[in-house]
Amino acid sequence: MKSKEIAGVVLKKGLPAVVGLVVLVAVIAWLAGAFTKKIPPGPTAMAADELPVEPDYGTYKVQQIEKPYIEEAIGTLKAARRTELSSRVQATISRIAAGAGDTVAEGDVLIELDRKDFEARLSQTQAALDAADAATHQAQDVYDRAVRLRKANPGAIAEQDFNQMYSNLLTAQANQSGARQAVAESQVRLSYTTIKAPKSGTVVDRWAEEGDMTQPGVPLLSLYDRTSLRLEVPVMENLGAKIQKGDELEVHIDALDEDFQGVVAERVPQAEAATRSFLVKVSLPPSEKLYEGMFGRLKVPAGIRRHHCLHTSAIQQVGQLQFVTVIIDPNTGNRERRFVKTGRRGDALHREVLSGLEAGEQVLLVRPEPSPQSPPGPAGRSAADSPAKQPTGR
């Protein structure tokens, strides 16, 4: 009797747990899709009447296009002829005749320094030269008289005295030469107080003001020749090794959104070990739009690029996804909807296909081919409403 009671108690307490476990397993199996019909993997062709009915605007054959592939290298515009003007002497700046942005011609006076000390030094050397000239003239007269006297009376002047006269003449001539050199040096130093433009160009920097004291070798103004602008750009070694001096390459200036035809003026014959690149310098045609320091892109041919071309009228957009309808069998009308990934536009009507299609496959055009240049018909129906023709040569 006791065993029956124990079995009843166990059955009464264990049955709900078993039922709950069975129900939990059934729910998990249902959520996992155990009770739904499975679709085998792989593409499944559908009959034409199984897809939604769409207007027939024709078909398009996916084409393989070959185009030159261009890579870009970024660089900066720099002037091939750039000059920094500095003073050769220490002096106070009296006047600066040019500032940043001014255009100057060769020989224009740009900076004038205080001339007083240099003019005084020139006056001193000139006076010393006058004294040396007088001393030389006097020594020459003494020597000439001694020569005439010795010819008339050989014993009138002792040999020692005659030699002393000749030595005095040589000393006076040496002093005269030194005085002339000092005058020439003073004149040159005086000319340094006027700083002129060594060549035509545009002033881009000014580092001094009137009243400042100059130091030899310290830059005061900087100017460059705008006709010598060139793009200096590091190019990866796999492309830079193919670039030769004299090659014509396109340069795009972002600030102007304009392309310029450049010529390779120089390629540094050494690759940078850190960046694995060659420094290429491309000369640009003279232009009032270009300035030193502007950002530019050098377009370097990198070979031939092959890609598939798809007509934009065949693309169906569903959210962020793109689909096309592929004709599997033109005879039976079987077709399938396929996910594709597109890239850049080739033109207004064609786009690059990155994945999902192969060259030669037929796709259905699901909307009329846009033709904005075609005038609408008399009934308001434009030429774009007509069946699309198969584009060729894209």
> What would the pLDDT profile of 15-28 be if each residue is shown by its tens digit?
777 777 888 888 88
Same domain, 125 and 234: no
The answer to the question of residue 38 being in a domain is: no
Same domain, 293 and 313: no
The answer to the question of residue 1 being in a domain is: no
Residue 310: the pLDDT is 87
Q: Is the pLDDT of residue 258 over 60?
A: yes
Span of 197-206, 295-304, 315-324, 372-381 with lowest mean pLDDT: 372-381
Residue 378: the pLDDT is 36
Span of 44-48, 256-260, 263-267, 380-384 with lowest mean pLDDT: 380-384
Residue 248: the pLDDT is 92
Same domain, 191 and 262: no
pLDDT interval class at 389 (50, 70, 90)? very low
User: What token pair was written down for 55?
Assistant: 């207007």
Residue 53: the pLDDT is 47
Residue 8: the pLDDT is 65
Q: Is the pLDDT of residue 390 over 50?
A: no
pLDDT interval class at 7 (50, 70, 90)? low
The answer to the question of residue 18 being in a domain is: no
Residue 11: the pLDDT is 62
Which string of b and e fits 318-342 if b means at least 16 CB within 10 Å?
eeeebbbbbbbeeeeebbeeeebeb
User: What token pair was written down for 109?
Assistant: 């006076």
Residue 227: the pLDDT is 85
Q: Is the pLDDT of residue 193 over 50?
A: yes
Instruction: Tell me the C-alpha distance between 122 and 182, whole Å.
Output: 8
Q: What is the CATH number of the domain that holds 76?
A: 2.40.30.170
Span of 45-59, 99-113, 181-195 with lowest mean pLDDT: 45-59
The answer to the question of residue 184 being in a domain is: yes
Same domain, 131 and 259: no
Among 128, 123, 96, which residue's Cα sits nearest to residue 189?
Answer: 123
The answer to the question of residue 199 being in a domain is: yes
The residues, any chain, with a CB within 8 Å of residue 311's CB and separated by 6 or more, are: 60, 349, 350, 363, 365, 369, 388, 391
Same domain, 97 and 190: yes
Residue 54: the pLDDT is 52
Same domain, 202 and 240: no
Same domain, 204 and 103: yes
The answer to the question of residue 37 being in a domain is: no
Residue 10: the pLDDT is 59
Q: What is the CATH number of the domain that holds 185?
A: 2.40.50.100
Pairing of β 258-272 and β 248-253: antiparallel
Helix residue ranges per DSSP H, the chain: 2-31, 116-152, 159-191, 237-240
Residue 159: the pLDDT is 85
Domain boundary (304, 331, 359) is at: 304
pLDDT interval class at 42 (50, 70, 90)? low
Residue 349: the pLDDT is 84
Q: Is the pLDDT of residue 171 over 90?
A: yes
Q: Is the pLDDT of residue 381 over 70?
A: no
Same domain, 177 and 114: yes
Same domain, 60 and 142: no
pLDDT interval class at 284 (50, 70, 90)? very high
Residue 40: the pLDDT is 66
The residues, any chain, with a CB within 8 Å of residue 46's CB and separated by 6 or more, are: 334, 335, 336
Residue 3: the pLDDT is 62
Q: Is the pLDDT of residue 249 over 70?
A: yes
Domain boundary (304, 337, 352) is at: 304
The answer to the question of residue 55 being in a domain is: yes
- Provide the strand spans (E) within the chain: 59-61, 63-79, 82-86, 93-96, 103-104, 109-113, 194-196, 201-206, 219-224, 229-236, 248-253, 258-272, 277-283, 295-311, 316-318, 321-329, 334-345, 350-355, 362-364
Please indicate, yes or no, whether the overall pTM of this predicted structure exceeds 0.75. Answer: no
Q: What pLDDT, in 10s, does the model give residues 118-142?
A: 999 999 999 999 999 999 999 999 9
Q: State the total domains in the chain.
A: 3
Q: Count Cβ atoms below 10 Å from residue 195 Cβ, excluding itself.
A: 22
Domain boundary (258, 287, 304) is at: 304
At 43 the three-state DSSP class reads coil
Instruction: Tell me the C-alpha distance between 34 and 16, whole Å.
Output: 24
Residue 9: the pLDDT is 61
Q: Is the pLDDT of residue 65 over 90?
A: no
The answer to the question of residue 355 being in a domain is: yes
At 175 the three-state DSSP class reads helix
Same domain, 264 and 357: no
Q: Which domain holds residue 373?
A: 48-66+306-385
pLDDT interval class at 350 (50, 70, 90)? confident
Q: What pLDDT, in 10s, does the model give residues 285-307?
A: 988 899 888 999 999 988 887 88
Same domain, 363 and 312: yes
More confident residue, 335 or 193: 193
Q: Count Cβ atoms below 10 Å from residue 25 Cβ, excluding itself.
A: 10
Among 321, 306, 378, which residue's Cα sits nearest to residue 69?
Answer: 306
Terminal alpha carbon distance of the chain = 95
More confident residue, 362 or 392: 362
Residue 336: the pLDDT is 87
Same domain, 167 and 212: yes
Q: Give residue 284's identity as a one-letter amino acid code.
A: L
Residue 221: the pLDDT is 92
Q: What is the CATH number of the domain that holds 345?
A: 2.40.420.20
Q: What is the mean pLDDT of residues 302-321?
A: 85
